[in-house]
Amino acid sequence: MKVMLLLDSSGFGGIESHVLQLALMLHQRRVNVEVMFYRQYPQHPLYARLAQAGICYRFAQGSVKLIRQAMMACTADDTVHAHGYKASIVARLLRMGCACRVVTTFHAGETGDWKVRSYELLNRRTARLSENLAVSEAIRSRLGARCRVMRNFIETTSIGARSEPPPQAGLRFAFVGRLSEEKGLDRYLQLSRLFPEHQWHVFGDGPQQQSLQAAPHCIYHGAVPSMQAYWAGIDVLIMPSRQEGLPMAAIEALAHGTLVIATQVGQLADLVDRRFLVPESQWQQMPVLIDMMAGWQPAMWRELQHQARLRVEQAFSADALWTQYRSIYRYQPDNACAAKAMTV
């Protein structure tokens, strides 16, 4: 039995983070897993992360024919699991005559521009040709009955408990994600101007990157290949999003003891403490939460950080989701991947 994760990726975002965590979950449980990229892009951080973990990956070099050959080589026990609209559409259209099962995951919580909307429309129209998963109920509801919700997750076994409360000189806030309207970068910058006594960090890139020129007080890190080294220096992740699914950044933050303030969109209410959620249309309530946090004693921080990590371990970790994915892939523990990175 083998699982092939298929995607087209030129950068590192929510889908890439999800695929990495899924590949790690399978590899660590001795499932034969490989990742196939539709194209190869220079200096893509996901390649190095997969190689470091010993996970097989290869490239189709933009060739539908090579993807077809890989799918034809699969058996009835194998699963091709596609992520993102391009890979999902291709996998469904190529499944005719292939013995393998095709599963796709719908990640997008935002509608995007006309081009993205067109692709997503085709993605939904072809969904009847595959088994389908969605990372949030809001996304699933647009697809109908032929879809089930499978929440995002992360591997938590290597994450240690956070030992230090925030510094007394001021809190350290962060925006992590695409620098775009649907993610609410403009709202984050407004909040930063209200509280100059705190640190304000920005991680990511996107169409609104130029707006940071008017916010010299923000520390801009650009798009980083992993947030692993940064979470310990961030006290609160702020997500003032207009649209979301279930963002991986929020799960990672909580697992590392970084608290989250967010708008109540997508599936965030299942993850984030309700005390730190505000209605999307009333995001201006966030300064009240920031003021409250600034007055906490270290004991309060430690207790909430512990609760955040416990919540992720219980419901948003690889251990918590493994039983469901094992059922989806119909996994029988009889083989393992001789993990080695390769190209076609």
Q: By three-state DSSP, how is residue 261 classified?
A: strand
Residue 340: per-residue pLDDT = 42
Give the pair of three-digit tokens for residue 78.
Answer: 């194998």
Residue 129: per-residue pLDDT = 93
Cα separations (Å) of 322 from 228, 309, 341?
A: 23, 18, 24
C-alpha–C-alpha distance, residues 203 and 43, integer Å: 18
C-alpha–C-alpha distance, residues 232 and 163, integer Å: 9
Residue 109: per-residue pLDDT = 52
Give the pair of three-digit tokens for residue 332.
Answer: 């029988």
Beta-bridge partner residues of 34? 4, 56
Beta-bridge partner residues of 173? 200, 236
Q: Which phi and psi (to 5°) does residue 134 adopt?
A: -135, 145
C-alpha–C-alpha distance, residues 249 and 237, integer Å: 9
Residue 120, by phi and psi: left (phi above 0), alpha (psi -120 to 50) or beta?
Answer: alpha
C-alpha–C-alpha distance, residues 98 and 74, integer Å: 7
Triad 113, 264, 231: Cα angle to 5°: 90
Residue 299: per-residue pLDDT = 93
Provide the 10 A C-beta neighbour count for residue 72: 12
Burial of 278 (0-12, 13-18, 19+ CB in 10 A): middle
Q: How many residues are recorded in the chain?
A: 344
Q: Under a CB-based contact definition with an 8 Å cutoff, are residues 27 and 114 in contact? A: no
Of 175, 206, 171, 169, give the one whose Cα is nearest residue 190.
175
Q: Which phi and psi (to 5°) does residue 235 adopt?
A: -90, -40
C-alpha–C-alpha distance, residues 75 and 2, integer Å: 8
pLDDT tens for each residue of the chain, 344 residues long: 999 999 999 888 889 999 999 999 999 999 999 999 999 999 898 999 999 999 999 999 999 999 999 999 999 999 999 999 999 999 999 998 899 999 999 987 555 567 777 888 898 889 999 999 998 888 888 887 679 999 999 999 888 877 777 877 899 999 999 999 999 999 999 999 999 999 999 999 999 999 999 999 999 999 998 898 999 999 999 999 998 888 999 999 999 999 999 999 988 999 999 999 999 999 999 999 999 999 999 999 999 999 999 999 999 999 999 999 999 999 877 544 444 444 44
C-alpha–C-alpha distance, residues 285 and 119, integer Å: 35
List all residues 6 or more positions away from 182 whose beta carbon is below 8 Å from its beta carbon: 109, 110, 111, 112, 241, 242, 243
Question: What are the structural domains, with CATH classification, of the chain?
Answer: 2-155+318-329 (3.40.50.2000), 172-315 (3.40.50.2000)
